[in-house]
Amino acid sequence: MPYKEKKVEKLFHSIGEVAEMLNVNTSTIRYWEKEFTILKPKKNKKGNRMFTNQDLDNLKLIYHLVKVQKLTIDGARKKLKENKVDTINNYEVIKMLEGVKELLNEIKEEL
């Protein structure tokens, strides 16, 4: 039986990696960290921020609210504070629909 290598998933991501994933500046992530209480990255001995996958999910949600839905920081913070569960559910539905759209576009191109 051949050896199957498991995909290694990182436990922590640096601020640079996160910024690259979201296509924003590191200063934007630092600013969001100050503005949103749901972001609590760990810091190593040097003081470098280390983001967990949960932090990454929260950053993606904030990105969606601020950059895609064009909410202000106050508006996004209020939305998360008042109804975080519905906001997360709506975001998950949008991600799922975008995945379906991408799949349908791939199928369309193959026809």
> For residue 15, what are its two tokens?
């601020």
pLDDT band, residue 90 (cuts 50/70/90): confident
What pLDDT, on a 0 to 100 scale, did the predictor assign at position 49? 93
- Examine the pLDDT at 6 and tell me if it is beyond 80: no
Instruction: Write the pLDDT tens digit of every residue in 91-109.
Output: 889 889 988 999 999 999 9
Q: At 12, which amino acid appears?
A: F
- Residue 19: which of 7, 31, 35 has the closest Cα? 31
Alpha helices in 1-111 (DSSP H): 15-22, 26-35, 53-63, 73-110
Better-scored residue on pLDDT, 6 or 62: 62
Q: How many CB atoms lie within 10 A of CB 12?
A: 16
Instruction: Write the pLDDT tens digit of every residue in 18-36.
Output: 999 999 999 999 999 999 9
Domains of the chain, CATH where assigned: 13-110 (1.10.1660.10)
Please state the rounded mean pLDDT for residues 70-75. 94
Regarding pTM above 0.85, the answer is no
Q: How many CB atoms lie within 10 A of CB 32?
A: 21
